[in-house]
């Protein structure tokens, strides 16, 4: 028989366990994986799926409050996937673990982090750009995904509380989309960004040997290696031809190189520099000093931004293309956006 004393003790123990469980739940952010259908990707010539996976990290207090939160869009690189940002390998970034540590230390304000998966075959990724052949990956982000997130989640749905970032191809996408859509993004952090001034083919073939490059297009697609898919990604996204055998202008020649050069960030800048000056998004660029040709590209682009009167942060670090990315995710990435959101909030 349970006495009144034992009953009260059991109730108190239950309350303690419930309280501890609630505290544990509110100290950790939460991951969701959803599928978003993209209207913008319909009609691509390679029948790439319009159903796109998106990983979302919700802040610790999301389900215990009615607050609205700022949002960061995090873009992966060529050949990567959304879950590339959640690696259990210590040499690769794990965004979720970094966020949990930062929240526990009260180092950053709470935010929603949205990680779209833009991987596809056979060209690994669409450079967050639009192509009549390869699909409209820019529109997928800005016309499909951003409105979806603002509708389905409690976001602070304005540019002052929306940022975009990425590494490598994702860095290209972050700067390009942030530059073109200053009405959407108030903060831009581009890491190790390619295609700033360079058309890309000479990253791997420095002498720009068209005979070497065009060997790709004499092979069967099932024989393509990563480098072949990289070459193809540039062609189908920046020199498309919806009626050609590869749906791209191949073989590659100086004409295609010129087309790709016209889509580099530096070439697009004159079309958008006035918006960048007036809207004044908070911008950060960084690159490793051992990152091949990119160090000179990104360093020179920072100088160009200074020349154009476009404020930005710029830093270089000891490292190559991706070896310091886990450290940047832990110590730079979300701190930058937390500062940016605070700064823009104070200006409202």
Which helix (H) or strand (E) element contains residue 118? Answer: none
Dmax over CA atoms of the chain, in Å, equals 90
- Given a contact cutoff of 8 angstroms between Cβ atoms, the answer to whether 74 and 162 are in contact is no
- Given a contact cutoff of 8 angstroms between Cβ atoms, the answer to whether 131 and 237 are in contact is yes
The DSSP output letter for 162 is E
Q: List the chain residues with pLDDT less than 50.
A: 1, 7-9, 11-27
According to DSSP, the β-strands at 313-317 and 71-75 are: unpaired
Which helix (H) or strand (E) element contains residue 74? Answer: strand 71-75
Round the CA-based radius of gyration of the chain to a whole number and report it: 23
3 φ, ψ to 5°?
-80, 165
User: What are the residues facing 166 on neighbouring strands?
Assistant: 75, 190
Establish whether the linkage from the previous residue to 122 is cis, with ω within 30° of 0.
yes
pLDDT of residue 119: 97
Give me the helix-helix angle, 265-279 and 169-180, nearest 10°: 50
pLDDT tens, residue by residue, 5-35? 554 445 444 433 333 333 334 445 699 999 9
* CATH match for 29-196+266-347 among 3.40.50.300, 3.40.50.1820, 3.20.20.140, 3.40.50.800: 3.40.50.1820
The DSSP output letter for 86 is B
pLDDT of residue 207: 82
pLDDT of residue 347: 73
- Closest CA relative to residue 180, chosen from 260, 293, 298, 273: 273
pLDDT of residue 29: 64
pLDDT of residue 348: 65
- Closest CA relative to residue 194, chosen from 116, 292, 284, 273: 292
Domain with CATH 3.40.50.1820 in the chain: 29-196+266-347
pTM score? 0.91
Q: How far apart are CA 113 and CA 209, in angstroms?
A: 41
Q: How far apart are CA 145 and CA 325, in angstroms?
A: 25
**Token output for 277:** 């000056």
The 10 Å CB-count burial string (b at 16+, else e) for 329-348 is: bbebbbebbbebbeebeeee
159 φ, ψ to 5°?
-65, -30
């Amino acid at each position: 028989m349970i006495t009144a004393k034992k009953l009260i003790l059991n109730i108190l123990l239950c309350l303690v366990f419930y309280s501890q469980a609630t505290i544990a739940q509110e100290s950790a952010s939460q991951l969701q994986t959803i599928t978003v259908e993209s209207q913008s990707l319909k009609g691509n010539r390679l029948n790439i799926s319009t159903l796109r996976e998106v990983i979302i990290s919700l802040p610790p207090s999301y389900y215990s409050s009615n607050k609205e939160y700022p949002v960061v869009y995090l873009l992966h690189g060529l050949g990567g996937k959304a879950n590339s940002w959640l690696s259990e390998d210590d040499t690769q970034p794990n965004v979720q673990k970094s966020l949990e540590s930062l929240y526990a230390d009260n180092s950053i304000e709470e935010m929603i982090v949205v990680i779209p998966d833009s991987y596809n075959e056979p060209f690994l990724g669409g450079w967050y750009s639009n192509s009549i052949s390869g699909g409209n990956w820019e529109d997928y982000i800005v016309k499909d995904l951003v409105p979806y997130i603002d509708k389905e989640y409690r976001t602070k749905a304005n540019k002052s509380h929306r940022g975009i970032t990425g590494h490598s191809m994702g860095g290209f996408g972050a700067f390009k989309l942030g530059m073109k859509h200053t009405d959407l993004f108030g903060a831009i952090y581009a890491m190790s960004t390619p295609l700033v001034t360079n058309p890309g083919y000479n990253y791997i073939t420095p002498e720009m040997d068209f005979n070497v490059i065009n060997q790709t297009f004499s092979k069967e697609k099932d024989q393509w290696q990563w480098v072949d898919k990289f070459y193809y990604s540039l062609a189908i996204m920046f020199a498309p031809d919806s009626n050609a055998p590869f749906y791209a202008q191949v073989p590659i020649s100086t004409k295609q190189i010129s087309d790709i050069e016209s889509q580099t960030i530096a070439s697009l800048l004159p079309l958008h520099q006035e918006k960048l000056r007036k809207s004044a998004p908070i911008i950060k660029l960084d690159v490793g000093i051992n990152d091949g040709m990119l160090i000179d590209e990104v360093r020179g682009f920072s100088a160009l931004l200074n020349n154009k009167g476009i404020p930005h942060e710029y830093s270089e670090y000891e490292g190559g293309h991706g070896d310091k990315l886990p450290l940047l995710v832990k110590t730079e990435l979300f701190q930058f956006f937390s500062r940016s959101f605070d700064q823009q909030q104070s200006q409202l």
